A = this chain, B = another copy of it.
Amino acid sequence: MRLLGKQEIEDIAKGSTLLGAGGGGDPHIGMLMAIQAVEEYGPIQLLTVDEVPDDAFVVSSAGFGAPTIFVEKPFGGLETKHAMTVLEQHMGKEVFATFPIEAGGANSMLPLVTAAQLGLPVVDVDGMGRAFPLLQLTSFYLDGLTATPMVLADEQANTTLIDTVDTPWAERIARSVTIQLGGAAGCAVYPMTGKNLKESGILNVLTYAEEIGRAARLAKEANVDPVQEVLKVANGFELFRGKVVDVDRRTDDGWAKGAVKIEGLFGYQGQQMELRVQNENMLAKVDNRLVCVTPDLISVIDAETGVAITTEGVRYGMRVVVVGIPCHPKWRTAKGLEISGPDYFGYDVAYTPVEELMKGRDLK
């Protein structure tokens, strides 16, 4: 167990933006909420999964819905608390601890807020090791665990308890309820035991995010290139550097789809990168050659500030560094790729790990 204060929260938030792979929403507002919660309730206990008893009842807390709405209509903070309370009552069990469903983006922060408000610890684990846009895209789901019973709640305590035959059904219903609640809702989801969490979670992911965020911070203080420091910690690769020359964005079937074109600079002159976006950055090509593809993480970093940018934040003219980070090995299994690979998102390329694609590049 260790305590998370303001500095730790800031580092986690920064690292989570990178792990969001462009999605999951900007954690900035979540970070401010978490810092405020720490100031009000004191530091938050962070547990490793080993500190959670096998039979403990643990529940993820999250924001559900469009991250863009979350920015316009930030949570009052009571949403997830309401959701947790209803789920506790329904299941007749007391929650031992909460944890993030995704350590990428805003949802890395909300469990900290919930934990502070409910006086619970947070477990250093998530179900993605990154951000993904669907309830079923979790390591828990890969192991046969279900998101339900789950509860959605708004700030008024309008609550909806969803219990379905499988998680894709829950995703569908939760999505439509959330639209009625204004586009974003608090959520208590993936109730499970401590044993489930140990076996099926992606471990130490908040610490991983924190280390990434800290590396960026220290590099900036030492006036060295934050991107290289971050890549060392994240075991990632620089894919490209250049200037954004085209951003095509549209909302299609409830997805933020788009494509970004980047013209090479600093050693990439004469080359062009194309990014394909479906909420997250899903596929990156340089001169039509694949350099990184989902479920590996593709993140765009502002070259001037060293801060990762969400897909909504990418603008014409920005100088950026695009990096690729190997996803958690759970996503690279046949079952994992089935729901997170290029095929699932409609891209006609075979999945190849980013480190292999990079090897090929070195040989060129």
Quick check: is A334 within 8 A (CB to CB) of the other chain?
Answer: no
Q: Is the CB of A173 within 8 A of B156?
A: no
Cβ-based interface call for A231 (8 A): no
Residues in B with CB closer than 8 Å to A86 are 163
Give the complex CA separation of A165 and B158 in angstroms: 6
The number of times this chain is found in the oligomer is: 2
Give the segment of A19-27, A175-183, A300-308 that binds chain B.
A175-183
Scoring A residues 172 to 192 as 1 if CB is less than 8 Å from chain B, else 0, what string do you get?
A: 110111011100000000000
Smallest beta-carbon distance A99→chain B, Å: 24
On chain B, the residues within 8 Å of A180 by CB distance are 172-173, 175-176
- The interface residues of chain B lying within 8 Å CB-to-CB of A161 are 90, 160-163
Interface string of A149-176 (1 = CB under 8 A from B): 0000000111111111100010011011
For A164, what are the chain B residues with a Cβ–Cβ distance below 8 Å? 158-159
Sampled A-B contacts (18; CB under 8 Å): A86-B163, A90-B161, A156-B169, A158-B163, A158-B165, A158-B169, A158-B173, A159-B162, A159-B164, A160-B162, A160-B177, A173-B177, A173-B181, A175-B180, A176-B176, A176-B179, A176-B180, A177-B177
A90 surroundings in chain B (CB, below 8 A)? 90, 161
- Smallest Cβ-Cβ distance to A92: which chain B residue: B92
Closest to A172 in B: B180
Distance, CA A86 to CA B148, complexed state (A): 14
Q: Which residue of B lies closest to A163 (CB)?
A: B159
Q: Which residue of B lies closest to A175 (CB)?
A: B180
Note all chain B residues with C-beta closer than 8 A to A162.
159-161
Q: Give complex CA distance A90, B158 in Å.
A: 16
CB distance from A226 to the nearest CB of B (A): 44
Q: Give Cα distance in the complex from A158 to B174, angstroms.
A: 12
CA distance A160 to B160 in the complex (A): 7
Q: Which residues of B contact A159 (CB under 8 A)?
A: 162-164
A177 contacts which of B156, B158, B163, B176 (Cβ < 8 Å)? B176
